[in-house]
Structure formats: structure tokens, C-alpha cells
Amino acid sequence: MENIFNVPDRNEVSAANQTIFDTLKKSLGFVPNLYANFAYSDDALSAFLAAQGAKSSLTGKEKEIVNLVVSQVNTCVYCLSAHSKFAKMNGFSDEQIMEIRSGSASFDPKYDALAKLAKSIAENKGQAAPAIVENFLNQGYSKGSIIDVVMLAGLRIITNYVYALTSPPVDFPAVPAL
């Protein structure tokens, strides 16, 4: 099927989305192509950004673990490229990022439990083996953190699916295949 989506520019989106584009350009220096494609909807971009910016029990590093694992499960090249960059900005090495993408983090038992839970949730449509959940809780996470992992996995699934459907050019540094 031919891609019917071209990345819209500022003058092709609603006034509300133009304001969001201006804010993104100020904060990031550009409007990521995937976000621009969200702007085909008058409401999706603002709703997504609000959900993404919501408070969470997960740290920035922990969020990037979930982002990388879920994006790898869904083979979203765009999100893997973006979140590899953000993971690096959060202090992960290239080697650690590759390991996280595989669903483990042998360099840190707490991160390993998180990566394994995120992978199980993503691969099994929300299901996780009791031993994986128990290990997650034994590493100091709470039941609330489990819900936060599910919320973040859901947000990544949204971006992964928007990418799969709209195929915008990747405007982040390319990452190697796993």
C-alpha cells in the first residue's frame, strides 16, 4: 500500500497544533516528524503530549528502559532511534542500550527486572509471568509502578503504531539492528 501520509508542515495543521509546533521547535529545536503526523488530528498531539508529560513513579532512566524495550518488541525504527538518543542523554552507554533493547539489563538488577517486565507486557498484550512481577516487586518497585509501566508501554504502543501506519522519515540518529 502506498503511504498516504506526508509529514505536514506548520501551515497544514490546525491553529492549536501550530502553537504546539512552535513550542516543540523552541524546546527541541525542531518538530519531530512523528509528532507532526499526530497533528493530522486536531486533538491527538496535545492529548499524547499531555499523557507523555504526566507524573510517574518511574525516573527518566527507567522510562527510557520501557520505551526502548516496547519499541524493540514492536520493531519501531523511529522510536528506537529517538529513545536511543534520549537513553544516551540519561547516561546509558551504547552497549547498555543494545542490551536493554533485548529486554534485559545485566548491569543493574533493578533495571533488569524493569526491562523483563516491560518486555513481557509488550510481548504478551499486558500479561506478565508471576515470577517476573514478583522479581519486579522484590527489586523495590511498587504495585503503582507496575501501573506506570503499563501506562508508558501504552504510550509507546501508540507512537509505534502511528509510525507503522504513517511511515515518517526518521529524523533522529540511526541505530543498529539488534
Residue 84 and residue 57: Cα distance in Å, rounded? Answer: 21
Answer CATH for 10-52 from 1.20.5, 3.40.190, 3.80.10, 2.30.29: 1.20.5
pLDDT tens for 140-167 read 999 999 999 999 999 999 999 999 999 9
Listed residue (18, 53, 50, 54) closest to 36, CA to CA:
18
Predicted TM-score of the model (pTM) = 0.96
Listed residue (144, 142, 61) closest to 105, CA to CA:
61
**Cβ-proximal residues to 36 (8 Å cutoff; 6+ apart), any chain:** 7, 8, 9, 13, 21, 168
Answer CATH for 60-166 from 1.20.1090.10, 1.20.1290.10, 3.30.70.360, 2.30.30.240: 1.20.1290.10
pLDDT tens for 73-108 read 999 999 999 999 999 999 999 999 999 999 999 999
